[in-house]
Amino acid sequence: MTHVFHRSSTHIPPTVARGEGAYLYDTTGKAYLDGSGGAAVSCLGHGDAHVTQAIQRQLGEIAFAHTGFFTSEPAETLAARLTDLAPGALNRAYLVSGGSEAMEAALKLARQYHLERGDTGRARIIARRQSYHGNTLGALATGGNAWRRAPFAPLLMEVSHVAPCYAYRGQQDGESEAAYCDRLIAEIEAEITRVGPEKIMAFVAEPVVGATLGAVPPVAGYFRRIREICDRCGILMILDEVMCGMGRTGTLFACEQDGVAPDILCVAKGLGAGYQPIGAMLCTEAMHEVIAGGSGFFQHGHTYVGHPVACAAAGAVLDRLVGDDLVGRVAPMGAVLRGMLEDRFGQHPHVGDIRGRGLFLGLELVQDRDTKAPIDADRKIHAQIKAAAFADGLICYPGGGTIDGKDGAHVLLAPPFILSEDQAQELVDKLARAFVAVGL
């Protein structure tokens, strides 16, 4: 009998006991290679001594002091370091407890910013179909994942959802990448015209799409063109790097590789690397100034904003990512892992696409490589692969997108940046065995 309200009432997972490096161990002693960092969280692997010591040190000083009364040294230092490392004019950090909270803060700040400039009509968000931005109501409404939204549809604000930048499925036969990009941009422009630019608050997207599509990067120039549109129309650009940020793609922030800086950037997962729950919303100094020179008060907040222990943990994570240059391992290790995946699955009859950036890689599973026909949704192939891999001691993160109302399937890989070549090989071997086990 368990009293934990588990997500699934039919499956109680094994009890985790400890973690070390790229592996987790359950209470029976079974080892699991963490090939996805849970959900792209554990970028440092498990049991990182530098981070755990920083947490212990901070606990010995002060664990919690409400930000209604105090700021703290870990919060100030983390905000200064993050904004220093962030692209563009992102100069303020609002420190929360996770990705959904970061996205909620972003949406509310965007609205308040327009309001305080007297631009009171701007409330509409443009986001993309097949996207995920969190499970709280604002973030859920922003996301375009039909399955996640469906039960809560009556509770969700109206959002304009345009096509994702998803070349494998979206680019038509014979269409160049540039023409595909033109078509996506035209759809955004048309939606802005339809709604009225003066009513649009923000454009929201994940630079490299994680959970919903499986590590799908944009085509060249896509985000630069959206940046131009946003600037022209007074629309704020919010980039959700909750999953793809903090070095996962080979640069600390994924958008650096697309040559854009947003007005608001959200990070989480890798920021705390799983050692503490933490997220951050970074915004430009110009946005902060509007609030500072207006009401002087961001009308938002949670009890655990700027939590000192979480901030100390994230500071230590940054030491490892930037100071020890673990981010520098991501592109070369990503290339090694990708090479192994291509060798093993490049010609696999049910692998339609291998994609991603850095150590953020995805395989799309199909019924037929040539027609790209998805695997029958009723087979729930992604759930089967997850179970087969887990039984064999591999944690990977399979998911299903929505292709023409059907469930497409992918496997998302996001191993820790400390992954060795042997571990990369183990990951690929175990994934291949899982495919065989489920009949692929």
Q: Which of 45, 87, 210, 415 binds ligand PMP (CB under 6 A)?
A: 210
**Who's near 60: CB < 8 A, 6+ residues apart?**
none
Candidate ranges 184-192, 206-214, 315-323, 415-423; the one touching ligand PMP (CB under 6 A): 206-214
- Is residue 211 part of the contact set for ligand PMP (CB under 6 A)? yes
Per-residue binder mask for ligand PMP (CB under 6 A), 363-382, x = binder: --------------------
Nearest CA among 7, 3, 20, 2 for reference residue 418: 20
Q: Which is nearer to ligand PMP, 103 or 431 (CB)?
A: 103
Q: Which of residues 16-75 bind ligand PMP (CB under 6 A)?
A: 39
Q: Which is nearer to ligand PMP, 39 or 110 (CB)?
A: 39
- Is residue 236 part of the contact set for ligand PMP (CB under 6 A)? no
Q: What is the CA radius of gyration of the chain?
A: 21
Number of residues forming the site for ligand PMP (CB under 6 A): 15
Candidate ranges 203-211, 252-260, 409-417, 428-436; the one touching ligand PMP (CB under 6 A): 203-211
Shortest Cβ 240–ligand PMP spacing (Å)? 5
Tokens of 106: 């972003």
Half-sphere exposure at residue 65, Cβ-oriented, CA atoms within 13 angstroms: 12
What is the signed CA dihedral for 352, 357, 362, 363, rounded to 10 degrees? 30
- Is residue 242 part of the contact set for ligand PMP (CB under 6 A)? yes
Half-sphere exposure at residue 3, Cβ-oriented, CA atoms within 13 angstroms: 0
- Is residue 132 part of the contact set for ligand PMP (CB under 6 A)? yes
CB atoms within 10 A of CB 244: 29
Report how far residue 252's alpha carbon sits from residue 304's, in angstroms, rounded to the nearest whole number. 25
CA torsion through residues 29, 35, 40, 46, sign: positive
- Is residue 134 part of the contact set for ligand PMP (CB under 6 A)? yes
Nearest CA among 71, 35, 95, 10 for reference residue 310: 95
Shortest Cβ 47–ligand PMP spacing (Å)? 22
- Is residue 274 part of the contact set for ligand PMP (CB under 6 A)? no
- Is residue 213 part of the contact set for ligand PMP (CB under 6 A)? no
Binding residues for ligand PMP, per CB under 6 A? 39, 98-100, 103, 132-134, 206, 210-211, 240, 242-243, 268
